[in-house]
Amino acid sequence: MAAPLKLRRQITAAPAQQEKKTATDLPVAAVLVNTPVSHLEGIYDYLVPEQHSQSAVAGTKVIVPFGNTKTEGLVISRKSNSDESRNLKVILEIASPAGMITKPVMSHVEAVRNRFGGSFWEVLKSAVPPRVIKEEKNITRSVGNTSSDYSSQFLIEVMGRADHGLLMAQQRIRWALTQPVGVDHSRFLAELIKVRSTISQVLLIVPDEKDLDQISEQLINFFGDQLLILSSHLSKADRYRNFLNTIYKPPKVILATRGGSFVNLAVDATVIVLSDLDNSHYEQHSPGWNSRDVSLLRPATTSLIFISASHSLEVARLIEMGWLTYKKYPSKSKIRFHTNEAGRSFIPVIKSALVNGNVLVSVAEKGYANLFLCAKCRNVAACSCGGKLQILGANSNPSCYLCKASKKDWRCDFCGEAKPYVLAKGINRTAEEIGRTIPKNSILISSGSKQLKSVPKGRHIVIATAGSEPAGSFSAVILLDGEKLFNRPSLRSEELAKFNWFSAVCKLDLNSEVFLSLPNYHPVVQSILRLDSQSAALSELRGREAAKLPPYYRVAIVIGLSAEISKFTENLKSSKEYQITGPIDIEKGEKKIIIRAPISAGQGLVDLLDDVVKVQGVKGRNIFKVRFDPFDL
């Protein structure tokens, strides 16, 4: 574990002019100062002016002099005297409501800093939205809400009386819950929140705004002003006002995207994380963290529920260890499965399912023909600049994805043939082919910035890329591009593809069909046939463990100037605790290395890299960019 913050000396060359009267009660404040260089981060003593004595309590942000400038600080505690032998500087002004950063939040931020490295203030900036002073004038304080009674017959039918009873019990729960198939996803989640809110405050962390809208629609009439939303899509003022309300007027239920992971909660609160594998749960700014791990670092009294169509391997490992209890409920859906054995087509499945309702077709990519070959010699169609050619629409000329040059009269550079063979079809090409095969049917496309929130009335064929599927249920789900999805060159390709396919399957009606574009013997197909995503995760976990990869190893990516990275790598290779890949050349004269450490040695690696960065700061060198446990490698 990283060393705790210690008092640092902040002295003046000459006695400071005391223009303000010092507080008579506990006149000294220990302040954690936000400095531009990490090696100076520490706690310094400052005098508290009498006029700020009531406000400058623990958890209050202040403005303090530091060196030759002014900077932000956080009051950690108040005391009667200082160990410093020279005159202390004075707090200049108050920069937040009194006690805005509670002690539990301070401890939580410190725990996250210890896990992911970097500075306390870098993490705190993720936890606290930008200040809007006018919103602080309207703060009202109230006590936490009392419990209420609510029982859900809907949940009893889905999960049974035993688990429904556990949700209503005054005890900590740690569940990994698989999203039920054939059950309205938003309603299931809303009912779970209603039941759990009868005994504790509830925080739901969702991947994005679309999920937030769907769940809030289910809850707003039930909770009224006891429902609060924290999301980056809110205006700056609304977001800050809602953040303040979580502290001074705590609601029963908080719905949040990633930034709400640090919100102040009651000691017995329940945190629910939806689809933790979604990359929207991963913070992109330094030092980088994710909603799942931040939630796991909450106090031991906090209940945790992870809900997903298919859990991440990190959650699957916690299930296997027995730390999380796996909850999977039997589906009442009658599903007929079809695979692509012997070249079987998905078109008959669409035709038969359209009689009963809407059909969802899941594809890998947007666009039209994202990669094509020469139909005669099978060489890749490329531009003279080196970029590959693509076709953006049915009547479009081939164009280069890199330089955007159009090739009106394209011919193969190798054999002269002018006929393309599409290798990587996009969503528009798939829609065109289905439209020709099944004419006079409504075809809707949901992808990228043009996503459908819900399916309009009538019967439609909805073609969507992963994550763009509209709300609703379908009489058939067609899962295309299996080979492409499961063989992408990334660490999480199979994990993500499985998550996307199970998410689509969860949208099925009670009587429905599924087409899978992989053979019957594929392990993920077998897990879908059993409607059990955990079974496929177990084999993948064994492969990760053997390969010394997450979730059994912590991973750090370190980027710096080529010469310095190379020297650091040579020094690091003397340690047998770490597995090192690289240095790998990247742009602008920089290199990166990938460091893997067993879970048991993970904290040591965090501390080591923190120390390296601090030494670089002291010596005025270029500072390495460090990222722990990124979404992908």
Lowest mean pLDDT: which of 158-167, 290-299, 413-422, 503-512?
Answer: 413-422
Q: DSSP label at 387?
A: P
Please give the residue that has the higher pLDDT: either 386 or 568.
568
Radius of gyration for the alpha carbons in the chain, expressed in angstroms and rounded? 28
Confidence band (pLDDT; 50, 70, 90) for 38? Answer: low
Confidence of residue 145 (pLDDT cuts 50, 70, 90): low
What does pTM read for this prediction? 0.89
Residue 39 confidence (pLDDT) above 60: no
How far is the C-alpha of 77 from the C-alpha of 56, rounded, in Å?
9
Q: How far apart are CA 52 and CA 133, in angstroms?
A: 17
Average pLDDT value for residue range 557-584: 90
Pairing of strands 553-561, 474-479: unpaired
pLDDT at 8 over 60: no
Q: C-alpha dihedral over 354, 184, 468, 470, to 10 degrees?
A: 50
Starting at the edge strand that comes first in sequence, how are the strands of the sheet with 579-586 ordered?
579-586, 590-598, 553-561, 625-628
User: Checking DSSP bridges between strand 508-516 and strand 553-561, what pairing results, if any?
Assistant: unpaired
The closest of 320, 265, 268 to 294, measured between CA atoms, is 265
> Lowest-pLDDT range, 49-63, 137-151, 205-219, 282-296?
137-151
Instruction: Please name the helix (run of DSSP H) or strand (run of DSSP E) that holds residue 558, with its range, or none.
Output: strand 553-561
Per-residue pLDDT, 83: 84
**Of 94-108, 286-300, 574-588, minimum mean pLDDT range:** 574-588
The share of the chain scoring above pLDDT 90, in percent, equals 65
Residue type, 179: Q
Of 564, 621, 609, nearest in space to 591 by CA: 564
User: What pLDDT score was predicted for residue 216?
Assistant: 94
pLDDT bracket for residue 490 (50, 70, 90): confident
H/E element, 627: strand 625-628
- Torsions phi, psi of 159, nearest 5? -110, -10
Do residues 416 and 377 make contact, with C-beta atoms less than 8 angstroms apart? no
Strands in 328-435 per DSSP E:
334-339, 359-363, 369-374, 389-390, 399-400, 420-425
Q: Tokens 């999977």 identify what position? A: 328
What pLDDT, on the 0 to 100 scale, is given for residue 375? 80
- Return the pLDDT at 12: 44
**Domains, the chain, with CATH or none:** 28-100 (3.40.1440.60), 334-367+426-530 (3.40.50.300), 378-422 (no CATH), 553-628 (3.30.70)
Could you read off the pLDDT of 262-288 as tens digits, one per residue? 999 999 999 999 999 999 999 988 788
Residues in the chain: 633
Q: What is the pLDDT of residue 516?
A: 95
**Ramachandran area for residue 629 (φ above 0: left; ψ -120 to 50: alpha; else beta):** left
- For residue 199, what are its two tokens? 């005994």
CB-based contact 480:363 (threshold 8 Å):
yes
* Tens digits of residue pLDDT in 332-380: 889 999 998 877 899 999 999 999 999 999 998 887 766 677 787 878 7
Mean pLDDT (the chain) is 89
Structure tokens at 367: 């666009």
Q: Could you report the per-residue pLDDT of 292-326, keeping only the tens digit for each?
A: 999 999 999 999 999 999 999 999 999 999 999 99
In this predicted structure, the answer to whether residue 503 has a pLDDT above a threshold of 50 is yes
- In this prediction, residue 424 carries a pLDDT of 65
Percent of the chain with pLDDT over 70: 94
Rounded to 5 degrees, φ, ψ at 259 are: -65, -20
Determine how many CB atoms are found less than 10 A away from the CB of residue 396. Answer: 12
Q: How confident is the model at residue 11 (pLDDT cuts 50, 70, 90)?
A: very low
* Dist CA 510 CA 620 (whole Å): 65
